[in-house]
Every structure is written in C-alpha cells, then in structure tokens.
Structure 1
Amino acid sequence: MMPQKPLKVAVIGGGSSYTPEIVEGFIKKYDEMPIRELWLVDIEEGRHKLAIVGELARRMVGKAGLPIEVKLTLDRREAIAGADFVTTQIRVGLLEARRRDEHIPISHGVIGQETTGPGGMFKALRTVPVILGICRDIEELAPDAWMLNFTNPAGIVTEAVQKHSRVKTVGLCNSPINFQKFLAKEYGVSEREVLPEFVGINHLHWITAAYVNGEDKLQEMIAGGRDYSALNVAALDWDKEFLSSLGALPTYYLRYFYMTDAMLADMKESLGKNGTRADIVSRIEEELFELYKDANLSEKPKQLEKRGGAYYSEAAVHLMHALYTDKRDIQTLNVRNGGIIDFLPEDASIEVNCVVTAQGPVPLPLQRVPEPIKGLLHAVKTYESLTIEAAISGDRGIALQALVHHPLVPGVAVAKLLLEEMLEVNKAYLPHFFKK
C-alpha cells in the first residue's frame, strides 16, 4: 500500500532561479508524494530573490489547486526542524564569487570553470564548511531526514557530508538525466526504454553502455558521431578515432581534460566577447527574475532552460519520490563507493547507476571500467579528497597539494600564484585559512 504521510520539505537556497522547476515537479507528483509544507530558505543577501520566487511558487501551487503551504524564511533551523527531505542548492559567495573562480585562472593560462580545476576547488573550499553547518542542524532537528544535494561541486560536497556527518545524503547532477533524455530522443523511444551505464565521479564520468530496448547502441553512437553537450560547456567536436579506441562516451566536462588547449582558447575568446559563463548566467538570471515578478505568471517559464542546469530539479524530485515510495527504479547518483570502483577509496563518492529503495540507493556493479580512464579518475579523486581535507582544516599546504595534483594545473609555480590570489579574494568566506 502506498505510504501517504504528509511531507515537510526544506529547500536550502530557495531563492534560486531553479526553484520553479522543483515546485513544478512537486505539483506533478503530489498524488503519490503529498507535500503539505514546502519551506524555501535563503540568506539575507537573497531575501529579494526569495520573495520573488516564493510568490511565483505560491501562484503555481494555487493554479494547481493543491493544499501545499509555501513558507519563506531566512531561518534555516525553522525550516529544517521535523523535515522529511532537505535539498541544498546554494552558491556561497553568489555569482560574483563564481565570476572570480572563472576569471582568475584564465588570467594565469588555466581552465577557469566553476566545478573543476582552481575554480571548482575554491567553490568547494567555500561550500563544504557551510554544508556541514547545515548538516549539524539536520542531525539535531531532523535526524531521520534525507539530504539531497545538488550544490556543486556535487561529488566533493557529497563525499564531505558522508565522511564528516551522520546525515543520510545522496548527491545528484543533471548530466546523467540529460544524457538519458538525449538517448531516448536520438532513437525515438520513451525514457523508460533506455538505460545508459555511467562509470566515474561527478562531472568526470564515462558512458560505457547505452541500452535501447535491451540493445547496446554505444558503438553505433560513437561511429555515427552522436554526442550530447550542455549550454555551460563549449561543444567542441570529439576526435572519432580517440572515442573508438576509448570505447566509451565521455561526459562533456571531460573536454576540459581531453581538449585542454582548445577549451582554454575558446574560454579566452569568450571572455573577450561575452564574458565567462558567470557573466552570461548573470544576464540570464536578470531576465528570469523579471519574468518571475509578473503577477500573471503561474508556471515555470520556458526561458529557465537557458540557465544551464536544466532538469536538475526533475532529477531531485525523481529521487525524492523513489525514496518515499520505495520505487526501486534505476537512477544515476553520487553515493559512497564501497568497493564498486575497486581502485578508488571505499569512502570516496562515485557517480554510478543505483537502485533507489526506501533505505537509500544501492549502487549496481559495473560491467566494465575502460583501462585508459583509470589514471585520470584516480588523479581527480585524489584532488577531491585533498580539497575536502583543506576545506575543513584551513591548511594551506594541503590546499596547495590539492591544486598541484589537479591535472588541469600545469605545475607548482602556477598553483602557488593561483592559491595566494584566490585565497585573498575569498578571505571573507575562508577565515580559517588566515589564522596565524
């Protein structure tokens, strides 16, 4: 019999432009997942956006005729208390911090991106302590709650929570769900008829099988040059000979590693024309919030897809629904390794297919892990684990080791320059790095 316990959900970062999508998902799933209280939480700097998004959420719920009470607050403890689910979609330092994460590395001839390389590291350094603070509130006020994290860098954040808190957590990303939609569209079938296999970690995974009605279409896709990308990553063409011998389709984020020079050149050109992705997103967000202000708008606008994180919230709603109903479907999630990828630490966060039960996701064994990917995967995971250690300790030496050993950083000299400059501009968010 389907459980029908009314739910309390807290969305940390509720003033985000993504929020209308998750509200739409809750409305669609209401009959199977009856949410009674939806708390949207933000900080003082996000008060204005929270008010705008919150009123749109109320209009959406009102149009659907559902008894979901949408509450807005700057007090996250009030929102977390007694919650069944807590979702996190925060950006510590707001878009201005992202802009620095992207601009400063490029000025040193290094990839400037918000989830990998120096930019991703500093986003993690700012974010991990804040997320662990949220976890302490959950441990105290909602110890049975699930925390669904899609705050980037999602793999690092998820691993930090799993290592340093007792909170039940799962990390997720929109890249796998986007590929599933792409695969279904390519072959003209429903999403229920496709099953890709993913191997790797967040923003560093490879597709090693692409089943369509039980038939693996991966080699056909590679031979035909079928590829998927995203708005936030330049869609440079892959070398077909390289993909054929690799025997896998890399996620679009792997262009930063496999086409570093070309991607950096593209970034420099974009910087001179339209700015980095942070600059573009700032303009898109201004447009979105103007739309959200319209008192006649009572649905998610189509323009939200330009934001670059399309289907993040759909993935979150699917996961929440599966945990709540013990659905036991297959989803691609960030979970504890536990030996699934045998050359990575057991407590590492990996991104693989899982069966989602009421007790949590159960990762599925992998059919194969291509030999060529192992070195890169291990190197980036080492960087991630060191970054978590630095984020908690404030140890500059560990931060330097993390940065030097990231494959996109060319050496110690550049790493030291980047570390000092980026620590200084992030001083307000990283005080523990400046204690004598």
Structure 2
Amino acid sequence: MKLSILGGGGFRTPHVYQALLRDRGAPRVEEVALHDIDETRLRTMVAILTELAEGRPDAPVIRPTLELETAVEGSDFVFAALRVGGLDGRCRDEHVALGHGVLGQETTGPGGLAYALRTVPVMTRAARTIKKLAPDAYVMNFTNPAGIITEAMQTVLGDRVLGICDTPSGLGRRVARLMRLDPARLRMDYVGLNHLGWLRGLLYDGRDVLPELLADDALLGELEEGRIFGADWIRTLGSIPNEYLYYYYFNRDAVHAIREAGATRGEQLRTSQTDFYRNASAHGPEGGLAGLWRSTVERRSASYMAEARSDGGSTTGAAVSGDEGYAGVALGVMAAISRDERQTMILNVRNNGTVQGLPDDCVVEVPTLVDASGVHPLTTDRPDLHQLGLMAQVKDVERHVIAAALDGSRQQAVAAFALHPLVDSVTVARSLADGYLGASQVQD
C-alpha cells in the first residue's frame, strides 16, 4: 500500500513512520510519499526516517517530493498534517487576538478561526487533487483546526475524510491506568466537537466506573484534568471536560496567563524549531538526527499548554507518541479499513444523526466503529443543554468561517468572530476580521 503524508517535513512524521516500522500485519504500507513545500525540512525528515529504518530491509520506501500531485497519485491513504503560514502565521494569529484582549490559540477561539481562514482553501484544493489522483484513498486529517478542516474537505471527498485527535483517547488511557483497568475493556461515552467535548461515562465490562472516579478526591487529584479544572467543577459538570475546555471555563485566566508569559506558544515553538533545523543542518552524515528530534519533541511536549495556565503547570495531552498517540490512532484506522480489523475509536466524522440537535452533515467527535466498509459513528445519548448549546454555537461559528474562507466574504468572517463565545463584542469581531484579512485573503 502507498501512504502519502502532506506536510511530511513536520514533527509528527517520525511518529507515523515508527508506527509503520512496528506494524507486522498484511497488507502493510510499503511506500511512503513525503510532501512538503520546504526542501530543507523535507531533507531533514528523510534523514531522520532513514536513520530510524537502519537495519530494517522491510522498511517502507521513502519518496520525498515537492509536488503534491506526485505524492498523492495512487495513494491508498493520505495523512494531512499541514501548517499553512508556518509558525510565523501562528504567532501573528496569537498576537492579533491578544492585542484585542481575547484568546490567541491555534485551534480554539479567534486564533483558531484565523488559522482556519487561510488553511481551508489550501486543504480543499488538496482534496480536489486527491479526488482526481487517488479517488479511493481515505484521508486522515491531522491539520488544525481539525474539525473545521475535516468538514471543509468533506465537501469535496465526503465520508472518506476523517479527523484524528488523540486528546479524547489519551484521556481514556490515562483514566484506565489511574484506576488500574485494562484499557482494551474500557468503552468511552464521549461527545463533542474537536477540542470541545466531554467524557460522560466509562463503561468497564458494561459497568460505568466514572462515578467512582468523580467521587474519589485522591484519584481526581492525580488526573491531569482534575488539576486543570478542579474536582468541584468536574463534579458540577458530572463529566470530565476535554482539556481545551479550559479556554472556555477559565477564559480570563488563560488570556491573562498567556499575556503575562512573555512568549506565546507559537513563539516558543518557533524558537525550538529554528534551533532544531539549525542544529540538524550542522550534523554530518554519521547520523544522530533521530536523537535530536526525540529530545526536541520531549521539550516541546513538556511545556504543552503551560503558557495558558495560571498555576504554571503543563498538560500531558500532546506528549504521548508512538502506538498510543496520533500515529497509533491513524495506524488503527488503516488496519481496520485495509484488513477489516474492526476497531472503535473516537474520531472526527460526519454526524449523520449521531448527535441530536446538530446538522447531519456537520463533523462531530464521537466514538466510531471503523471496518473495511468505512467509518460508522456510534449511537450516543443526547448531550445535556449546556453541552449541546456550546456545541451548536461553536458549530455555527465553524460554518461561518468555512464560508468566509471559501467565498471570500468579510461579512461571514465577521459573523464567525462575533458569534464565537470567546469574543464578547461585534466591534472586537470587526477588528479581528480586519487584522486577519491580509493573511487569509478574505475580501468584502
């Protein structure tokens, strides 16, 4: 099978390749096409992957290319992990928002909408290329904001596009370990949108163990979400929120902390990435790049979300890699589809009536059965009023921003910012739209 990775010069690529090296099933991926527009990044990643594959004659062949069409043509699966505008764009997104006193974050709030404005057109063009050159391929979207990008790509490719985020499944794994339960026997009752969801139940051999966790101060104190949100607030909700809901429930705290941090997350990553590629270019042919990559990833993960938390802590959501992270979820999807190894995982998929109260054609993040016939979201109980209300409001915002990105409408862009629950003024929304127009090319 052929796998193409769009954004192949990015930091996730070695995780994916390591998962492929560990895979012993059949059929398996034999060719990996790496596409990137940055030749230096691409060359560095090829060197890392070559080092990881050393001594493995069965390792998938690596084919780097600067041409999207060459990468995509004949692919069985496509991973999309682009950062349109690079980290300079992310830093700009953060500072425009923070300059107006609202959240500057790449997936949540106005910063995420700005990222979507310039990313949606690029990803829909990529979708059209995939439809032409690899019409039977399944697309696994990692590109943020994952829910918005997945929904936009589905307008071209339909249900063959699904979004992957490891945050919900990572929460389930951590809870299982904390409660000394076998993760394979645990079923999560989870509902939401990408980076906006709630764990409402944990079925272990058919018995819901979530109430036991919520009643135990010691266990909640060991759980990252317990430290982020506090046991009292989690008990008030009666569910465990996705860690990104910190930006909603503690918005003022988060904005204040980011403004006081001295450097935004984008600026931190830009510094570490610049250092990485500078150090990588100084390495000789003797190798060692894989070790440099690992140490850089560990440092990045150790500070995840730290800039937004008033307590100075960081979270573990993005730190998991290998078979337990994004790459593991993606490999599970590929195995389920290509080998009919049926699996249930939490994915971003078309709603199709799964979440009552939301449009059938919108993308939601819910438990999903994957098999050789595709992806099938599982029936779920209706969200409570708070959950449904927040999901509906944010989904409406997402649809406005997709329309703005595809149609070039400033009116739609203003509506997206103004209707977002983390923007408290139409005046601010207009200023945000004006501040982002240059990068997104949205016009009146």
When the two structures are superposed, what TM-score results if normalisation uses the length of structure 1?
Answer: 0.90
Structure 1 residue 329: Cα displacement: 1.2
Task: Go from structure 1 to structure 2 and tell me whether the alpha carbon gap of 1:241 and 1:207 turns closer, same or farther (over 3 Å shift).
Answer: same
Structure 1 residue 423: Cα displacement: 1.4
User: What SS does structure 2 have at the residue aligned with 1:408?
Assistant: coil
Task: Go from structure 1 to structure 2 and tell me whether the alpha carbon gap of 1:400 and 1:52 turns closer, same or farther (over 3 Å shift).
Answer: same
State yes or no: 1:409 paired with 2:423.
yes
Give a deviation string over 1:137-185, Cα, whole Å, max 9, x none. Answer: 1111111111110100010011111124457211111212321221222
State yes or no: 1:266 paired with 2:287.
no
Q: Which amino acid aligns with 1:12?
A: L
Tell me what 1:253 maps to: 244
Structure 1 residue 80: Cα displacement: 0.8
State yes or no: 1:182 paired with 2:174.
yes
Q: Which amino acid aligns with 2:366?
A: V
Quick check: 2:423–2:429 contact (8 Å CA) kept in 1?
yes
Quick check: 1:285–1:307 contact (8 Å CA) kept in 2?
no
Structure 1 residue 263: Cα displacement: 1.2
136-145 vs 212-221, which moves further: 212-221
Tell me what 1:41 maps to: 35
Q: Which amino acid aligns with 1:304?
A: V
In 1: Cα distance, 2:56 partner to 2:169 partner: 26
Quick check: 2:2–2:32 contact (8 Å CA) kept in 1?
yes
Quick check: 1:147–1:167 contact (8 Å CA) kept in 2?
no
85-94 vs 160-169, which moves further: 160-169
Give a deviation string over 1:391-410, Cα, whole Å, max 9, x none. Answer: 10010001101110000001
Quick check: 1:176–1:332 contact (8 Å CA) kept in 2?
yes
Tell me what 2:306 maps to: none
2:272 to 276, 279, 284: 284
2:149 to 150, 157, 162: 157
Task: Go from structure 1 to structure 2 and tell me whether the alpha carbon gap of 1:190 and 1:295 turns closer, same or farther (over 3 Å shift).
Answer: farther
Structure 1 residue 380: Cα displacement: 0.4
Task: Go from structure 1 to structure 2 and tell me whether the alpha carbon gap of 1:347 and 1:229 turns closer, same or farther (over 3 Å shift).
Answer: farther
In 1: Cα distance, 2:53 partner to 2:232 partner: 51
Tell me what 1:394 maps to: 408
Structure 1 residue 291: Cα displacement: 6.2
In 2: Cα distance, 1:350 partner to 1:154 partner: 11
Q: Which amino acid aligns with 2:266?
A: A
283-292 vs 370-379, which moves further: 283-292
Task: Go from structure 1 to structure 2 and tell me whether the alpha carbon gap of 1:163 and 1:226 turns closer, same or farther (over 3 Å shift).
Answer: farther
State yes or no: 1:240 paired with 2:231.
yes
In 1: Cα distance, 2:110 partner to 2:290 partner: 40
State yes or no: 1:194 paired with 2:182.
no
Give a deviation string over 1:188-214, Cα, whole Å, max 9, x none. Answer: 344313222210110101001123444
Structure 1 residue 226: Cα displacement: 4.7
How high is the sequence identity, in percent, across the aligned residues?
Answer: 33
Structure 1 residue 236: Cα displacement: 6.2
State yes or no: 1:15 paired with 2:9.
yes
User: What SS does structure 1 have at the residue aligned with 2:54?
Assistant: helix
Tell me what 1:74 maps to: 66
Tell me what 1:369 maps to: 383
Quick check: 1:158–1:169 contact (8 Å CA) kept in 2?
yes
Matches within 5 A, 1:69-218: 69-166=61-158, 168-218=160-210
Quick check: 1:161–1:167 contact (8 Å CA) kept in 2?
no
Quick check: 1:10–1:40 contact (8 Å CA) kept in 2?
yes
**Structure 1, unaligned runs of 5 or more:** 1-6
Task: Go from structure 1 to structure 2 and tell me whether the alpha carbon gap of 1:134 and 1:228 turns closer, same or farther (over 3 Å shift).
Answer: farther
Give a deviation string over 1:308-346, Cα, whole Å, max 9, x none. Answer: 444222222222222211111111000000111111111
State yes or no: 1:345 paired with 2:359.
yes
Q: Which amino acid aligns with 1:48?
A: T
Give a deviation string over 1:74-109, Cα, whole Å, max 9, x none. Answer: 011011111101110000000010111112211111
Structure 1 residue 286: Cα displacement: 4.0
Task: Go from structure 1 to structure 2 and tell me whether the alpha carbon gap of 1:386 and 1:246 turns closer, same or farther (over 3 Å shift).
Answer: same
Give a deviation string over 1:257-288, Cα, whole Å, max 9, x none. Answer: 11111111111111x2xx01111222333455
State yes or no: 1:24 paired with 2:23.
no
In 2: Cα distance, 1:191 partner to 1:33 partner: 26
Task: Go from structure 1 to structure 2 and tell me whether the alpha carbon gap of 1:324 and 1:184 turns closer, same or farther (over 3 Å shift).
Answer: same
Quick check: 2:159–2:350 contact (8 Å CA) kept in 1?
no
Structure 1 residue 216: Cα displacement: 2.0
Task: Go from structure 1 to structure 2 and tell me whether the alpha carbon gap of 1:32 and 1:303 turns closer, same or farther (over 3 Å shift).
Answer: farther
Structure 1 residue 33: Cα displacement: 4.2
Alignment: residue pair count: 415
Q: Which amino acid aligns with 1:124?
A: A
State yes or no: 1:313 paired with 2:327.
yes
In 2: Cα distance, 1:112 partner to 1:49 partner: 26
Task: Go from structure 1 to structure 2 and tell me whether the alpha carbon gap of 1:149 and 1:71 turns closer, same or farther (over 3 Å shift).
Answer: same
Quick check: 1:326–1:358 contact (8 Å CA) kept in 2?
yes
User: What SS does structure 2 have at the residue aligned with 1:301?
Assistant: helix
User: What SS does structure 2 have at the residue aligned with 1:266?
Assistant: helix
Q: Which amino acid aligns with 2:14?
A: P
Quick check: 1:179–1:228 contact (8 Å CA) kept in 2?
no
Give a deviation string over 1:41-84, Cα, whole Å, max 9, x none. Answer: 001xx210110111111222233331421011101101111110
Q: Which amino acid aligns with 1:22?
A: V
Q: Which amino acid aligns with 2:17?
A: V
Quick check: 2:397–2:419 contact (8 Å CA) kept in 1?
yes
1:53 to 45, 51, 68: 45
Task: Go from structure 1 to structure 2 and tell me whether the alpha carbon gap of 1:371 and 1:338 turns closer, same or farther (over 3 Å shift).
Answer: same
In 1: Cα distance, 2:290 partner to 2:24 partner: 17
